[in-house]
Amino acid sequence: MTPPHSNHPPPSAAPSRCTPVLIEASGIGEEDVGKTVQSLSMGKPTQRILVRQPGRLLDRRDQFFVNDAFTSKLFRIKIASIVDPKANSAAARPGKTVEPELPDQLTDDRKHEVECAVVRVMKARKTLDHSSLVMQVAEQVAKRFIPTPALIKPRIEALIERDYLVRDNKDPRIYSYVL
């Protein structure tokens, strides 16, 4: 039976499909089909491409109908996607970013490139404070990748251990290049 607030065709007027049939026909997993049909059947009544019956909660027995009343002036339409907050918990929290995992070879290459940039900057400047060094190193490697201060600082420490740089005796925030 059609909900009283919609002007969608009754089940007998339009061909319908239930979730298991959609899963089998599309070859897509159950979770992905569920998200997709939710995206197509949720939202404002005028923006629904699919009509779901009987209710709002997705169930395997729900029937889906093409919404013949759906129209758009646009050639392409944007459909909001359903995101599972459990699957992407860090992205669901504001202010938290998810750092992509980089291959070990790429990480090693970046470490080496940051060390080279530190040496180039210090060779030219001879003495520099920490924040200026980090900023200039970031500027030098920015064309290839965007380094974080968390990547630069350990590389500076590694260069100090290998005697390329030394800390100032009076102010530990100042580095000097060792000739």
Segment 148-164, tens digit of pLDDT: 999 999 999 999 999 99
φ and ψ of 109, to 5 deg: -60, -40
Average pLDDT over residues 131-141: 94
Tell me: pLDDT of 108 over 60: yes
Q: Output the pLDDT for position 95.
A: 55
For the chain, the structural domain boundaries read: 16-92, 104-177
For 30-75, write each residue's pLDDT tens digit. Answer: 777 777 777 777 767 777 777 777 666 666 677 777 777 778 777 7
Domain 104-177, CATH number (from 3.40.50.970, 1.25.40.10, 1.10.10.10, 2.170.120.12): 1.10.10.10
CA distance linking residue 155 with residue 91, whole number of Å: 29
Cα→Cα distances 92→55, 116, 147, Å: 27, 37, 24
Residue 21 has a pLDDT of 72
Among positive and negative, which fits the CA dihedral 110, 116, 120, 125?
A: positive
Running DSSP on this structure, what letter comes out for residue 129?
E
Global confidence as pTM: 0.46
> What CA–CA distance (Å, rounded) separates 51 from 47?
10
Looking at residue 56, its pLDDT comes to: 61
Residues present in the chain in total:
179
In Å, how far are 15, 26, 37, 96 from 51, measured between CA atoms? 11, 18, 9, 35
CA distances from 61 to 10, 21, 58, 94, 109 (A): 16, 10, 9, 36, 53
Q: Where does 4-148 have alpha helices with state H?
A: 19-26, 30-41, 89-92, 104-125, 130-141
Contact 128, 135 (CB under 8 A): no
Evaluate if residue 169 carries a pLDDT over 80: yes
Residue 12 pLDDT more than 50?
no
Percent of the chain with pLDDT over 70: 70
What pLDDT is stored for residue 64 in this prediction?
73
Phi, psi of 175 (to 5 degrees): -110, 150
8 A C-beta contact, residue 175 and residue 167: yes
